């Protein structure tokens, strides 16, 4: 193959990488928007400090899945955004999935009833920032959210694996 042909195939491979990165970002943004919409429409006002409540439009839009869907899309979305910032094929992309799962699990465990008094004490002594302590004190621990966080991180890893596999399949043709 001529050097010019080699350069054109590399350019095509670079375009594929850009498309894969754009797909990661698109999936992440759609997922995070879906999770945010639950706070906008289905949750009680003030449930999420930074997100206003727009009011329900009748029955909750998301039904039963609205209880745990944010816990699924948060690690999914942020793991994919993290992966989009890293080079394709980097093992850090998969480690990012595990890291976001760990963050979500830690925040869920921090809401456990057994820790509420500790958070209150930390906030009163000025050790923990009040908004963070308030999140843990007023939050509700749910095992379903732990499962959803793990599933979201696994779904992100599956997206990465699928896109990495499609890269290999594309170049094998």
pLDDT given for residue 63 in this prediction:
80
pLDDT value for 16: 86
Return the minimum-mean-pLDDT range out of 52-56, 74-78, 132-136: 52-56
Nearest Cα residue to 120 out of 101, 104, 133? 133
Q: Could you give the residue ranges of the DSSP H alpha helices within the chain? A: 3-41, 69-85, 91-109, 116-124, 130-138, 143-172
What's the confidence (pLDDT) of residue 154? 98
Reported as a single tens digit per residue, the pLDDT across 90-113 is 999 999 999 999 999 999 999 999
Q: Measure the CA–CA gap between 101 and 95, rounded to whole angstroms.
A: 10
Greater pLDDT, 41 or 35: 35
What's the whole-number mean pLDDT along residues 74-79?
98
- The whole-number average pLDDT for the span 116-144 is 90
Quickly count: other Cβ atoms within 10 Å of residue 134's Cβ. Answer: 15
Residue 58: per-residue pLDDT: 58
């Amino acid at each position: 193959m001529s050097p010019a042909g080699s350069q054109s195939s590399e350019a095509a491979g670079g375009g594929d990488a850009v498309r894969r990165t754009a797909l990661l970002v698109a999936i992440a943004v759609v997922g995070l928007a879906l999770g945010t919409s639950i706070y906008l429409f289905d949750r009680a006002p003030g449930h999420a400090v930074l997100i206003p409540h727009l009011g329900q439009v009748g029955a909750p839009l998301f039904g039963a899945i609205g209880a745990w869907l944010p816990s699924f899309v948060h690690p999914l979305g942020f793991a994919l955004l993290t992966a989009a910032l890293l080079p394709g094929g980097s093992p850090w992309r998969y480690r990012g999935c595990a890291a976001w799962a760990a963050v979500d699990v830690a925040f869920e465990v921090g809401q456990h009833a057994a820790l509420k008094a500790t958070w209150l004490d930390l906030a009163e002594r000025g050790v923990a920032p009040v908004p963070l302590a308030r999140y843990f004190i007023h939050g509700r621990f749910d095992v379903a959210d732990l499962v959803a966080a793990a599933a979201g991180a696994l779904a992100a890893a599956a997206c990465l694996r699928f896109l990495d596999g499609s890269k290999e399949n594309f170049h094998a043709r």
